[in-house]
Every structure is written in structure tokens, then in C-alpha cells.
A = this chain, B = another copy of it.
Amino acid sequence: MVKVPSIDSTDRKILGALQRDGRLSNADIAEAVALSPSPCLRRLRRLEAEGVIRGYRPQLDRCAIGLGMTVFVQVKLQDHSARSVDGFEQALLQMPAVINASTVSGSADYLLEVVVADLADYDDWVRGMQALAMVREIESNFALRAVKTGAPLPLAGER
């Protein structure tokens, strides 16, 4: 039997409050969800311990820290041997510019989100990627304008 954390409606309210402001104190969360601080803190710690909350992050303005360019990169591998797959994924994990990576359905094997300062920086990064023997094909799609970024996850039956 697999462990089912089972999030109830109060937990969802806590997560919702935290998504609005991730630095809310327990007292503030408790007030927001109409609970007293004690059970609220117990729930919060449980959510953290069970991994529902994996951590906390500041949302940074990429341009302000010199990362003006976001690129979505589709990658196809030469083959899907364990050696190629593991080697490639290991390489991804060691590239700071790659902030998100998934295997995907469709014609590509991987979809990566890459952040760099500028085109020259991206060129450097692509060369490093092309140097990997297991990489067959790389397609780059540059983000031109952010329309919606880092929206909170929908917690209810929202669509």
C-alpha cells in the first residue's frame, strides 16, 4: 500500500494562503484559514515533512539579475539506452542554466527551460549541449514575451 498523504480542505487553504505569500508566519496562516495557531502549525509541519511542501523560494525578476533570455529547448537523443539517458540527465542536472527539464511526449525526447544572459551566453550553452555524444538534435524556441509567469497552482476544482 502506497502512502496517501490525503490533503483535506483545511490543508488546501493553508497551501493557498502560502501561495499568496510564502513568508506568512504560522500565526498569519492560522488567521487566514480560521484556525488557531497550534493545529495550524501541526498541519504545516506535516505538509513539509510529507513533502507536499518541498521548500520555499523567492520569485526573482530574471532580467534584474542579468538573465534576460529564456529558451525552451527540445532535445532528441541518439538512442534510449540507459547509458545515453542517464548520462544526458546527469549532464542536465549539472547545468545551472537548465532550470526545468522533463521527458515529453511528441517528437522530442526532452523539453528544457534554459535561462541565460544573452545570445552569446546561449551560444556557449548550446555548444556544450552539442558536445554531448548522446544528443542527436536540438531545437531552440526563444521566449519573446512572458504573458503569465509562476502563477499559483490551482488547488480546488478550478480549471
Hey, which bits of chain A sit against chain B, CB under 8 A? 5, 7, 12, 15, 18-19, 21-23, 50-62, 64-67, 70, 72, 89, 92-93, 95-106, 108, 110-111, 115-116, 121, 124-125, 128, 139-155, 158-159
Asked if A154 and B115 make an inter-chain contact with CB atoms under 8 angstroms apart, the answer reads yes
* A104 and B5 form a contact (CB under 8 A): no
Cβ contacts A to B, 15 pairs, < 8 Å: A18-B57, A19-B58, A51-B61, A56-B58, A57-B152, A93-B147, A93-B148, A96-B152, A97-B158, A99-B150, A101-B146, A104-B143, A104-B144, A108-B141, A115-B154
> 5 shortest A-B CB distances, which residue pairs?
A22-B56, A96-B154, A96-B158, A102-B143, A101-B148
Q: Which residues of B contact A103 (CB under 8 A)?
A: 143-145, 147
Contacts of A58 in B (CB 8 A): 15, 18-19, 22, 53-57
Q: How far is the CA of A154 from the CA of B97 in the complex (A)?
A: 6
In the bound complex, do residue A51 and residue B64 qualify as a contact, i.e. CB atoms below 8 Å apart?
A: yes
Which residues from chain B contact A62 at a C-beta distance below 8 Å?
153
Please give 15 more A-B residue pairs, beta carbons under 8 A apart, in addition to A51-B61, A54-B58, A106-B142: A19-B60, A23-B56, A52-B64, A56-B58, A57-B58, A62-B153, A72-B104, A96-B154, A96-B158, A97-B158, A100-B150, A102-B146, A103-B147, A115-B153, A116-B159
B residues in contact with A125, CB < 8 Å = 159
Complex partner residue of A151 from B23, B100, B146, CB under 8 angstroms:
B100
**CB < 8 Å neighbour of A60 from B23, B92, B153:** B153
